Amino acid sequence: MFERIWHMLVKEFIQLKRDRWARFRLIVPPLVQMLVFGYAATFEVYHVPTVVLDRDHSQESRELISRFSFSDRFRVVKIARSDAEVEDAINRSDAALAIVVHAGFAELLLKGQSAPLQVIVDGTNSNTALIALGYLNLIVQQYAADYGADLLRRGVGAPGAGIVQVGIEQRPWYNADLNGRWFFVPGVVGSLTLVLVVSLTASAIVREREIGTLEQIMVTPIRPAEYILGKTVPFFIIGLAEVALVALFGTLWFGVPFVGSPLILLLGTCLFLLSTLGLGLLISTLSKTQQQAFAANFFVLNPMFTLSGFAFPIASMPEPLQWLSYLNPLSYYLVVIRATFLKGVGLDALWPDLIGMTLLGSLLLGISILRFRKSLD
């Protein structure tokens, strides 16, 4: 038995050695995608194009506007002279945000009263708009605090103004600089592994059925279970190598720390690969051609990516979709890989996710093997 499985393993790796294009696909595209996702996938917003209309023309208004000009979060693209220019800049998408300082802004501040500041936001991209508003509020709050403290030092303004102040001291754990890449890069490792292993497993078996070599192999003494092991074990080894390659590249290139246990990450990766192999094998039993396998991959992998929590919080999804995420092995693996990379937690915190991947992997492999044996009969 083991001798026949060994010959199947040798056959698969010899085929991989002879296929230069396959070796290229296993190395170059994952690294390129890691670079693209690592730089492009982020929740942080920089250089938001901003138009400013200053009707007060005071030292206070100029000081406030300068804080936006010297912030890397905003980029003042135009100083408007009328409401029409502000509206035109927003309509033409030359600016995503407009700041209007009304006349009397400085006078109200000197009296210790609230000075309204009008902000117009292009809500076409709601995510960017909300994040930009958050940055704007931080700048305005800091300006108000600094201005109130300055009035207090000079003894100017309303009596009692600025005596009591409440400050928020932020202490982020595990990611002190709130670097978005530290969140996305481990997620890219899991997503690329899912796409690669499922695609390889499904297309490889379908290709042999399509060109007729599957029937030739099955008339040999090899059993169906041995053939399945001989076909899936190489992809399991390739999957482990891909995780190591992409994770090492992402860690070194983007400076993402790894503070957890390599053994726990290895255990989670093995359980995740069992699920992906089972899914790829299941797709191969439902497809008769490589085109059908490719279409099935597209139909299955996109929802798995969306429901995994890679970019969108699962807690923010409707409850039925949250239940569906329990059937997604990628959602469990992302918890494991991010926790081991950034938090360094152990089995006491990750055992529910490991058990979830174990159950899903066993179920997918069991169904896939039964369907594969039935298709051979």
Block mean pLDDT (10 aa), the chain, length 377: 66 71 78 82 83 91 90 90 90 90 87 84 83 89 83 60 52 76 87 87 75 65 69 84 89 88 93 91 81 83 87 84 90 93 89 94 85 59
DSSP code of 220? S
The domain boundary residue, chosen from 87, 119, 154: 154
Q: Which residue shows structure tokens 């059925």? A: 209
pLDDT at 328: 92
pLDDT at 124: 82
Tell me, yes or no, whether 329 and 199 share the same domain. Answer: yes
Is 103 domain-assigned?
Answer: yes
Question: pTM for this one?
Answer: 0.78
- Contacts of 172-180 spanning 24+ positions with Cβ under 8 A: 174/342, 174/343, 175/342, 180/41, 180/42, 180/43, 180/44
Q: What is the domain extent for residue 80?
A: 48-154
pLDDT at 24: 78
pLDDT at 311: 78
Distance from the first to the final alpha carbon of the chain:
21
Is 341 domain-assigned?
Answer: yes
Closest to 67 measured CA to CA, from 133, 4, 11, 136? 136
CA 54 – CA 56 distance, rounded (Å): 6
Whether residue 162 contacts residue 152, with contact meaning beta carbons closer than 8 Å, is answered with yes
Tell me, yes or no, whether 37 and 74 share the same domain. Answer: no
Find the farthest-apart pair of alpha carbons in the chain and give their distance in angstroms, rounded. 96
Token digits of residue 170: 């932020």
Is 347 domain-assigned?
Answer: yes
Is 160 domain-assigned?
Answer: no
CA 202 – CA 198 distance, rounded (Å): 6
Q: How far is CA 324 from the centre of its chain?
A: 19
Tell me, yes or no, whether 351 and 206 share the same domain. Answer: yes
